[in-house]
Amino acid sequence: MQPFKIALTIIIALFLQLLLSNYFRFFRYIDLPLLVTIYFSLQRAPFLGMAVGVFSGIGGDAIGGGILGVGGFAKTLIGYLIAVTSIKFSLEHPLARLAVVAIASAANTVLHAGLNLMLEQFLPTLETWGAFGRSVGWKALSDTAAALVIFIVLDRVFAEHAQARQMAIRRRFYD
């Protein structure tokens, strides 16, 4: 049941990303597949974070255009790093989770741009350093604001994950 719910969550995130970015201009700065990857990476399971990163990244590449695999690589790397960090440090506090989202969003934008430059693909956000900086800032801010809502919804949908995560944190850091 859990793998089905996770796969359905990824598919819904990809569908909403495709649908909403066509109708709302500001939604182009929000990366729902990245937020889903971050949420599952915070569950203290590196394989889960990487698997969600691979599927959401490649799915995002497929619906968004560009080179297939660039987003998949970036989200897989981010999913792994967040999962490993969440094992070593308690990232359960809401402010810590929002800081992780902001850092991961900025890292995803930089990785995506860097990989596209390495593969000699032109991105409109890379015309000047100022435009690139604004893009990184707006994406980090938008993803952090969207994470406030998305994480609450996902905590309710995956209540058993939230309880297991809280118990693991209590055992690791407070016992």
Task: Considering only residues 10 and 92, tell me which one the structure prediction assigns the higher pLDDT.
Answer: 10
pTM over 0.85: yes
CA 106, distance to chain mean position in Å, is: 11
Contact 42, 100 (CB under 8 A): yes
Q: Could you tell me the two tokens for 12?
A: 């819904």
Specify the amino acid at residue 10: I
Nearest residue to 26 (alpha-carbon basis) of 146, 114, 118? 146
What are the chain's domains?
2-174 (1.10.1760)
Q: Read off the pLDDT of residues 107-153 as tens digits, 9 standing for 90 and up.
A: 999 999 888 888 877 776 667 888 888 889 999 999 999 999 999 99
Q: Phi/psi at 51 (nearest 5 deg)?
A: -65, -45
